[in-house]
Structure 1
């Protein structure tokens, strides 16, 4: 069984802005290793409770997703995870203070995981019917034989999926910031390609 990487109880005020001057956002969509000598930067312009914000383990932005130092440490010895995801050094700025030790997620795996026969979609561009899709209803495949931990969807690169084993790892380690209950049998409505 596979699961969509979904937000859970994540306030709108916690969405970070990604500074693309070090690594362009487009590079994160290529599913290839990124070479960077400097940490990427995420900024939060809104005033928030730092204690509450920093208690999360997975963060969302207008660029790539990124993880806390705690989760990065937990995943640093997981070879299956590191085969699928490159961890890139990241710094965050909150309320004018900088914090290091965060890691941006660069997904290296691309898998076919959407059941196109059960999903409802239209091409974004009429002249390019095999190109990116605008999904009205997305249904994930129930049986995927490919072994993976975390990957981008081949059919919709904006969709990130996780395996059952990684989901169990997140549950065991009480990872905060994502919904770990949505299964592949529940359709996802109103999802668009990036």
Structure 2
């Protein structure tokens, strides 16, 4: 079984701004390794409780997702995960203070996983029918034989999926910041 990677109980004021001067956001959609010697930078414009914010493991931005040093350490020995996701050094700036040890996620896998015949969707741009889609109902394919931990959906690259084993890993390690339930009752954009 596969699950959509979704934001959990994550406050709007915790959305970071991605500084794309080091790596352009478009490169993260290519599912290829990214070469950089500089850490990526994510800034939070609002004043927040650092203690509460830094308790999360997954963070979201107007660029790539990134993870805490704790989760990066837990995943650093998981070879299946590292086969599917490149971890890129990142620094975050919160309340004017800089924190290192974070890792941006660059998804290297692209799998066909959405049953387009059973799903309900429309193109986001009428002039580009094969482009991004707005899903009203998304149905994953059954019996996906490809082994993976985390990947982009071939049918809609903005949608990220995780495997059952990775989901269980996140549950066992009490990962905070993502929704690990099995249902989604809202429109899905990808």
Structure 2 partner of 1:65: 65
Q: Distance in 1 between matches of 2:127 and 2:44?
A: 39
TM-score of the pair, normalised by structure 2:
0.95
Structure 2 partner of 1:134: 134
Structure 1 partner of 2:165: 165
Structure 2 partner of 1:175: 175
User: Which residues of structure 2 form unaligned runs of 5+?
Assistant: none
Q: What is the total number of aligned residue pairs between the two structures?
A: 190
Structure 1 partner of 2:15: 15
Q: Distance in 1 between matches of 2:44 and 2:103?
A: 16
Q: Which runs of 4+ in 1 moved over 6 A?
A: none
Residue 104 of structure 1 pairs with residue 119 of structure 2:
no
* Cα distance, 1:127 vs structure 2: 4.1
TM-score of the pair, normalised by structure 1:
0.93
Q: Distance in 2 between matches of 1:187 and 1:98?
A: 35
* Cα distance, 1:126 vs structure 2: 3.3
Secondary structure of the corresponding residue to residue 28 of structure 1: helix
Structure 1 partner of 2:189: 192
* Cα distance, 1:139 vs structure 2: 1.7
Structure 1 partner of 2:121: 121
Q: Distance in 1 between matches of 2:125 and 2:69?
A: 40
Q: Distance in 1 between matches of 2:61 and 2:150?
A: 18
* Cα distance, 1:188 vs structure 2: 5.5
Q: Distance in 1 between matches of 2:125 and 2:48?
A: 40
TM alignment of 1:19-58, pairs within 5 A: 19-58=19-58
RMSD: 1.3
